[in-house]
Amino acid sequence: MKINPKLKNILEWVYCIIIAIVLALLFRYYIGTPTVVKMSSMYNTLEQNDRLILSRWTRTVKGTYNRGDIITFEAPSKPIRSAFDVDLDNPVAIYDYEPKGIIGKFFYYVVELKKESYIKRVIGVAGDHIKIENGKVYLNEEELEEPYLRDGVTTDGKIFSDIVVPEGYVFAMGDNRGNSTDCREFGCIPVDRIESKVWIRFWPFSKFGKVQ
């Protein structure tokens, strides 16, 4: 059966578009993706409307996340916890939403449709003792030096302010401590819920470079 040349040309374009979309999604999920900072919880390291390149590579190769890394992760189901529903011997964030079906998982985890993410800095990794008191952060019984904070910024203790980070988790906070919902309020983040590391800021161009 001979295919109409015009139809053949259309089909070829459709195939090219599908392949391009698939490759873009694979690159976005496994390698890296651009994003825009929407909140002020990392001010002044990151400001609203900064354009960033996120690296997915650590997640892809199941690598490790280190103290000081700026990461993005899936927002917990309960971002604010109360003293009545926490177990300080198991200080972990709650994730009780799971998309249904292959298509639902594809759109949620790959396309990231209707998925909310947070951006914070890793303060503690598995086995670290985190204690917050008198406006300061103590890591393994020593005061943590935090040169990335603005002068005068202090850290208020909340629900999870004296904990040991469990295996397979990290403890993260925003640099703008007074305006950040973070692990102090919802608990430690599972490593498998971390999506990426912040790599490069490409806009504004005056701040172009690696983010630390």
Q: Residue 186 and residue 184: Cα distance in Å, rounded?
A: 6
Q: What are 3's two structure tokens? A: 């295919």
Q: Residue 162 and residue 16: Cα distance in Å, rounded?
A: 54
Q: Is 86:80 a contact under the CB 8 Å cutoff?
A: no
At residue 131 the predicted structure's pLDDT band, cuts being 50, 70 and 90, is very high
What pLDDT sits at residue 203?
95
Which run of H or of E encompasses 14?
helix 5-30
pLDDT (tens digit per residue) in 12-50 = 899 999 999 999 999 999 999 999 999 999 999 999 999
Which run of H or of E encompasses 15?
helix 5-30
- 10 vs 127 pLDDT, higher one: 127
pLDDT (tens digit per residue) in 160-195 = 999 999 999 999 999 999 999 999 999 999 999 999
Please provide the size of the chain in residues. Answer: 212
State how far Cα 44 lies from the chain centre. Answer: 17
Residue 6 has pLDDT above 90, yes or no: no
Q: Residue 129 and residue 162: Cα distance in Å, rounded?
A: 7
Q: What are 191's two structure tokens? A: 């490593």
Domain 35-210 has CATH 2.10.109.10: yes
Which run of H or of E encompasses 59?
helix 57-60
Q: Where are the beta strands (DSSP E) in 87-166?
A: 117-124, 129-133, 136-139, 142-143, 162-164
